[in-house]
Amino acid sequence: MSSGATTATMDSTLLPSLSLRRRLTNFLATCAAAGSVILVLVPLGAVFGYLVYRGLGSINWAFLTQTPKPVGEAGGGMANAIAGSALILLIASTVGVPVGIGAGIYLAEYGRNRLGNLIRFTSDVLNGVPSIIIGIVAYGLVVLTQGHFSALAGGVALAIMMIPTITRATEEMLLLVPTAVREAAYGLGVSRWRTTLSITLRTATSGVITGVMLAFARVAGETAPLLFTAFGNQFWNWKLNQPTAALPLQIYTYAISPFDEWHRQAWAGALILIILIVVAVSAVRIAAGRGMLKGGN
């Protein structure tokens, strides 16, 4: 890790004896590496800059409280899409988080065998499946069974996407907990399940929550699996078995539409989406830092 400092001193002592060509190559390579960092930061800055520049002016009270107006009418908002996203994410978390953490516990505590390796491998495979494919599966699984597009189908699709991320994060975090801690619990006569839940998982809580929150942030902006599961809706909907609007879907629909008013709202929606992701992530972070972790007892 200390290569930076070491190299600097070595360079200065060795410079006189180095050929110009070698020094030049070294200099150019350094410039190229630094240049690529700058080149990568430009789009990042541009995306965030544009989001704030185009989005901020369009966010107002109406945008946050009203449903979309028909084409041609100014005003209206994305309130139903924000609520729909919340509903879908709630379903996804309710299904995905327990299963993901459970699978992680299995891998960390019981998974040092062939079945464990198989599950580990499968979970990595599942992590790499394109989100649109998950959409097809959720369509076949829920939409075809129910007979129409629904919030539930969207939630199931996102849950499937959350599970592998949470599983591997939980496993990694549980494995970081020292064996001595487990042995101490066993030594006090605590049963194995109790040790896992109250000692091991508890010690690793913040890591596990970080994993959950990353999975959440990943699916919160997902659009592709919702296209033919949640489908979108111009009106309020709280029923699980009805088509539901979702923020990313609404952004997509508005972005590819030909109307300036809708473009404006798409930017506002995108800004809200980014803010929601950041807020959700920080809220979980703060709760984890304060509530469950402080004592660890």
CB of 272 to other proteins, least distance (A): 11
Fill in the per-residue mask, 135 to 154: x = in contact with other proteins (CB under 8 A), - = not in contact: xxx-xxx-------x-----
> Are the beta carbons of 263 and 255 closer than 8 angstroms?
yes
Query: Is residue 280 part of the contact set for other proteins (CB under 8 A)?
Result: no
Stretch of 62-70, 78-86, 234-242, 259-267 contacting other proteins, by CB under 8 A? 259-267
Residue among 86, 214, 280, 284 that touches other proteins (CB under 8 A): 214
Query: Is residue 12 part of the contact set for other proteins (CB under 8 A)?
Result: no
Residue among 52, 62, 132, 275 that touches other proteins (CB under 8 A): 132
CB of 151 to other proteins, least distance (A): 16
Six-digit token pair at 218?
A: 């990943």
Stretch of 56-64, 84-92, 190-198, 233-241 contacting other proteins, by CB under 8 A? 190-198
CB of 79 to other proteins, least distance (A): 19
CA distance 213 to 228: 25
Closer residue to other proteins (CB): 146 or 205 = 205
CA distance 293 to 217: 22
Residue among 58, 85, 203, 265 that touches other proteins (CB under 8 A): 203
Query: Is residue 7 part of the contact set for other proteins (CB under 8 A)?
Result: yes
Residues numbered 154 to 183 that lie near other proteins (CB under 8 A) are 160, 163-165, 167-169, 172-173, 175-183
CB of 82 to other proteins, least distance (A): 15
Contacts of 49 (CB under 8 A, 6+ apart): none
Residues numbered 55 to 84 that lie near other proteins (CB under 8 A) are none
Residue among 40, 114, 145, 290 that touches other proteins (CB under 8 A): 40
